[in-house]
Amino acid sequence: MNTSPLPPAEARIPADLPRHTLSVVVPMYNEAENVEPLLERIHLALAPYPWPWEAVLVDDGSSDSTPAELLRCARLHGPHVRVVQLMRNYKQTAAMQAGIDAARGSVIVTMDGDLQNDPVDIPRMVGRLLGEDLDLVAGWRKNRQDGLLLRKIPSRIANRLIARLTGVRLRDYGCSLKVFRASAIKSVRLYGEMHRFIPAWLATVTTPRRIAQEEVTHHARVFGQSKYGISRTFRVVLDLIFVYFFMRFRTRPGHFFGGIGIGLGALGALILAWLAVVKFVIGENIGGRPLLFVGFFLIIAGVQMVTSGVLAELLTRVYYESGSSHPYLARETAAPAEDECWRAPAPPDAAASDAAAPAGKA
Cα–Cα separations (whole angstroms), residue 265 to 29, 270, 297, 306, 330: 50, 9, 9, 10, 48
d(CA 163, CA 147): 22
- C-alpha angle 333-58-33 in degrees, rounded to nearest 5: 120
For the stretch 279-313, pLDDT in tens is 888 888 888 888 999 999 999 999 999 999 888 88
Q: How high is the pLDDT of residue 168?
A: 76
Cα–Cα separations (whole angstroms), residue 109 to 37, 124, 136, 143: 18, 12, 10, 21
Sequence-ordered list of residues with C-beta below 8 angstroms from that of 276, at least 6 positions apart, any chain: none
Q: How high is the pLDDT of residue 266?
A: 94
Q: How high is the pLDDT of residue 114?
A: 85
DSSP 133: T
What total number of domains does the chain contain? Answer: 2
- What radius of gyration, in Å, describes the C-alpha atoms of the chain? 26
Whether 210 and 193 map to the same domain: the answer is yes
Q: Are 102 and 80 in contact (CB under 8 A)?
A: no
Q: Which residue has the higher pLDDT, 361 or 264?
A: 264
Whether 54 and 185 map to the same domain: the answer is yes
Whether 291 and 198 map to the same domain: the answer is no
Q: Which residue has the higher pLDDT, 324 or 316?
A: 316
Q: Are 198 and 122 in contact (CB under 8 A)?
A: no
d(CA 193, CA 56): 20
Whether 107 and 208 map to the same domain: the answer is yes
In this predicted structure, the answer to whether residue 224 has a pLDDT above a threshold of 60 is no
Segment 92-117 shows an average pLDDT of: 92
**Band (176; pLDDT cuts 50, 70, 90):** confident
Report if residue 138 sits inside a domain: yes
Q: Which residue has the higher pLDDT, 207 or 194?
A: 207
What is the amino acid identity at position 240? L
In this predicted structure, the answer to whether residue 63 has a pLDDT above a threshold of 80 is yes
d(CA 191, CA 137): 21
Q: How high is the pLDDT of residue 243?
A: 75
In this predicted structure, the answer to whether residue 59 has a pLDDT above a threshold of 50 is yes
In this predicted structure, the answer to whether residue 104 has a pLDDT above a threshold of 60 is yes
d(CA 6, CA 10): 12
Whether 207 and 295 map to the same domain: the answer is no
Q: Which residue has the higher pLDDT, 78 or 172?
A: 78
Whether 153 and 200 map to the same domain: the answer is yes
- How distant is the alpha carbon of residue 303 from its chain centre? 37
Whether 62 and 89 map to the same domain: the answer is yes
Report if residue 238 sits inside a domain: yes
133 backbone φψ class: left, alpha, beta (φ>0; ψ -120 to 50)? left
In this predicted structure, the answer to whether residue 362 has a pLDDT above a threshold of 60 is no
Report if residue 17 sits inside a domain: no
Segment 111-124 shows an average pLDDT of: 91
d(CA 36, CA 29): 14
Q: Write down the pTM of the prediction.
A: 0.73
d(CA 354, CA 329): 37
Report if residue 362 sits inside a domain: no
Q: Are 327 and 94 in contact (CB under 8 A)?
A: yes
- How distant is the alpha carbon of residue 74 from its chain centre? 25
Report if residue 126 sits inside a domain: yes
d(CA 12, CA 24): 17
Sequence-ordered list of residues with C-beta below 8 angstroms from that of 249, at least 6 positions apart, any chain: 255, 256
Report if residue 311 sits inside a domain: yes
For the stretch 124-143, pLDDT in tens is 999 999 999 999 999 988 77
SS3 53: strand
Whether 294 and 170 map to the same domain: the answer is no
d(CA 266, CA 89): 48
Q: 253 phi and psi, to 5 degrees?
A: -65, -25
SS3 57: strand
Q: How high is the pLDDT of residue 355?
A: 47
In this predicted structure, the answer to whether residue 79 has a pLDDT above a threshold of 80 is yes
Q: How high is the pLDDT of residue 184?
A: 92
CATH code at position 41 = 3.90.550.10
Q: Are 221 and 116 in contact (CB under 8 A)?
A: yes
Choice among 91-100, 212-221, 227-236, 283-292 with the minimum mean pLDDT: 227-236
Number of Cβ atoms within 10 Å of the Cβ of 261? 21
For the stretch 145-159, pLDDT in tens is 555 565 566 667 666
In this predicted structure, the answer to whether residue 77 has a pLDDT above a threshold of 50 is yes
Report if residue 287 sits inside a domain: yes
**Mean pLDDT across the chain:** 82
Whether 160 and 270 map to the same domain: the answer is no
Segment 28-42 shows an average pLDDT of: 93
d(CA 185, CA 14): 23
Report if residue 172 sits inside a domain: yes
Whether 201 and 281 map to the same domain: the answer is no
Q: Which of 93, 89, 45 is nearest to 67 (CA)?
A: 89
Cα–Cα separations (whole angstroms), residue 300 to 61, 203, 345: 47, 37, 66
Q: Are 133 and 212 in contact (CB under 8 A)?
A: no
Relative to beta strand 107-110, strand 22-28 is parallel
Whether 238 and 257 map to the same domain: the answer is no
Choice among 19-23, 97-101, 212-216, 225-229 with the minimum mean pLDDT: 225-229
Whether 66 and 97 map to the same domain: the answer is yes
3-state SS of 79-96 is CCEEEEEECCCCCHHHHH
Q: How high is the pLDDT of residue 130?
A: 95
Range of the domain at 276: 253-321
